[in-house]
Amino acid sequence: MDTGTGIDPDTDPRPATGGWHLSHDLDDFLTRAGAFLRSRPALHTVPLTVTETLRTRGRCVYGDGAPEFGVLERAGEVRAAFFRTPPHWLNLTAVTPEDADSLAALLAALGRRLPGVNAECDTAAAFAEAWQRHTGAPAVLRQRQRLYRLGALTEPGPLPPGGPRIAVEADRELLWRWHDEFSASVGLGTVRDSAEWADARIDSGGITLWETPDGTPVAMAGTGPRVAGQVRVAPVYTPPHFRRRGYAGAATAEVSRAALASGVEEVLLFTDLDNPTSNGLYQRIGYRPAADFDVYDFT
């Protein structure tokens, strides 16, 4: 495919503008960028977990569009990487303003249509500004996120009535519905088909439900794939009519405990900084701030 710049990101091995290599090939991306991503597994938790899911569940797991990848290489060293699973936001590791500009210029020249960017705060702002300059598309801050790392796990006592259990096949329809509700409430990220997501989490034992004493599920907390010694807690969801009763905290503590028991080095999670309830909850059970990320929409 001729992109109009003389570079075919699917087949051309030459460095693209500014040292960026573009590809739709997951294996090529992981060969180039895998060691770099694993060198800072907490800050790179999203590209690590998303690419692991693409590798194990298929390239269309997040949507019908072909995933897009990019690696910034100079003097044989990887400096940054990005991925995108259309139709979702560009996810970019930390870069300088100059490298953010070179990437924005390249993608604009290739005719890419981006809905937005998700990155650490300075990088997100630099790329959003560069994208607006190169395309004329205004950038609007959509969400401020905080990445937390688990320190010493603290029981969120007193625990609510009931207890935890792993979701099983009989919970499939419940997980579908709660995943749809969670995705609608968050409105961000690399959203997956709810049925496929439920099947994958049931297969891996990756969702814990908190049940009341009469067996009614009232909250869920999940963990993603274990990659590079880290696990990220997501999603955490309680239906509105069950909130403010301690169910989410109890379920989150349970999956965090299980993750630690599995031998991982780091347990991570993201929050919306505009939600003081969730930020306070996670800090009370032992999560500590690691980095801040911003999400911009391009309109």
Which residues are 23's β-sheet partners? Answer: 69
| pLDDT above 90 coverage of the chain, percent | 86
User: Strand 90-92 relative to strand 116-120: parallel, antiparallel, unpaired?
Assistant: parallel
**Chain-centre distance for alpha carbon 255:** 18
Strands, DSSP E only, in the chain?
Answer: 20-23, 68-74, 77-84, 90-92, 116-120, 139-150, 163-166, 207-211, 217-223, 230-237, 266-272, 287-298
15 confidence band (pLDDT: 50, 70, 90): very low
Which residues are 121's β-sheet partners? Answer: none
DSSP state of 229: T
Mean pLDDT along residues 261-276: 96
Distance CA 254, CA 281 (A): 14
Does 69 or 4 have the greater pLDDT score?
69
Which residues are 237's β-sheet partners? Answer: 220
Q: Is 7 exposed, middle or buried (0-12, 13-18, 19+ CB in 10 A)?
A: buried
* Structure token pair of residue 215: 């067996």
Nearest alpha-carbon partner for 267 in 228, 230, 220, 223: 230
Helices and strands (DSSP H and E) totals, the chain: 8, 12
pLDDT digits (tens, 9 = 90+) for 212-247: 999 999 999 999 999 999 999 999 999 999 999 999
SS3 17: helix
Please answer whether residues 64 and 52 qualify as being in contact, where contact means their C-beta atoms are separated by less than 8 angstroms.
no
What φ, ψ does residue 95 adopt, rounded to 5°? -140, 165
Distance CA 108, CA 76 (A): 26
pLDDT digits (tens, 9 = 90+) for 61-107: 988 899 999 999 999 999 999 999 999 999 999 999 999 999 999 99
pLDDT digits (tens, 9 = 90+) for 140-159: 999 999 999 999 999 888 99
Which residues are 233's β-sheet partners? Answer: 223
| DSSP string over 93-130 | ----HHHHHHHHHHHHHTT----EEEEEHHHHHHHHHH
